[in-house]
Amino acid sequence: MEAHWEHFPHEADMGVRGVGATKEEAFEQSAVALTAIITDPQSVKSEMSVEISCEAPDDELCLVDWLNALVYEMATRKMLFGRFKVTLNGSRLHGTAWGEKIDAARHQPAVEVKGATYTALRVQRDQKGLWIAQCVVDV
């Protein structure tokens, strides 16, 4: 099965889920799912890159930190990201996000993501051996 992202409903908020053969792929795909709440990730050009580092005591907290760092970078830089690369080394994450400045006419942002939460937070392998990285984000 190919790495992919998906959304899952959660009351007034939205769940993001990344699925991949590796934990890193699952984290990358969860970031694509985050962008997909706002706009079509494929509409985002890879014009600039932003480096992000996180450190957390476990994978689940690291996922929340990763997604919240992306939310922060999108808000403060007025950017959207459509492509991601994650490297995990123990409790440390190093990620690169590629994107561009928001173009309201072209991206037509649907909502603003306020942050990742601990609700439905999970980073683990499923029965098929695929990695799942998911949580609910506040919109």
Report whether pLDDT(110) > 90: no
pLDDT in tens, 22-61: 999 999 999 999 999 999 999 999 999 999 999 999 999 9
Query: Other C-beta atoms within 10 Å of 27: how many?
Result: 27
**Confidence (pTM):** 0.95
Report whether pLDDT(16) > 70: yes
One-letter identity of residue 52: I
Query: Other C-beta atoms within 10 Å of 136: how many?
Result: 19
Residue range(s) defining the domain that contains residue 105:
4-138
**Structure-token pair, residue 41:** 């990730």
**Structure-token pair, residue 98:** 């590629």
pLDDT (0 to 100) of residue 1: 65
pLDDT band of residue 8 (cuts 50, 70, 90) is confident
Report whether pLDDT(129) > 70: yes
CATH code of residue 16 = 3.55.10.10
pLDDT band of residue 113 (cuts 50, 70, 90) is very high
CA 2/CA 37 separation, integer angstroms: 21
Judge whether 95 and 27 are in contact, CB under 8 Å.
yes
Q: What is the average per-residue pLDDT within 69-89?
A: 98
Number of domains in the chain: 1
One-letter identity of residue 64: V
Q: Which residue has the higher pLDDT, 108 or 110?
A: 108
